[in-house]
Amino acid sequence: MRPTIVWAGGAERDLRELPAPLRRDELVKGVGHWEVELGFGKGRYLVRRAGEHRQLRFLGVEVASQYYRLARDRASEKGLTNLALIRGEAIYLMAAVLGAGWAEAVHVYFPDPWPKGRHQKRRLFDPLTVDLPLGLLRPGGSLYFASDFLDYGAAVRELLAAHPAVDLEIVDQLWPDGARTNYEAKFVTEGRPIIRLIARRRLTHEVALLHPAGRAGIIAAAKEVEPEPGSDGA
User: Residue 122's CB: how many other CB atoms inside 10 A?
Assistant: 13
Domain boundaries, the chain: 5-224
Residues with pLDDT less than 50, the chain = 1, 206-207, 217-229, 231-234
Model pTM score? 0.86
What are the Cα distances from residue 21, in Å, to 29, 37, 59, 63, 229?
16, 19, 15, 19, 34
Residue 112 annotated as catalytic: yes
pLDDT, the chain, mean: 85
User: Residue 207's CB: how many other CB atoms inside 10 A?
Assistant: 14
Say what the pLDDT of residue 171 is: 98
- Count the helix, strand and coil residues of the chain and give each as a percent rounded to the nearest 5: 35, 25, 40
Say what the pLDDT of residue 96 is: 86
Sign of CA dihedral 192, 46, 173, 170: positive
Q: What CATH class has 5-224? A: alpha beta
Q: Could you tell me which of 160, 186, 195 has the C-alpha nearest to residue 41?
A: 186
Q: Give 72-110 pLDDT, tens digit per residue.
A: 999 999 999 999 999 999 998 998 888 888 899 999 999
Distance CA 110, CA 1 (A): 25
Find the catalytic residue in 14, 25, 73, 112. Answer: 112
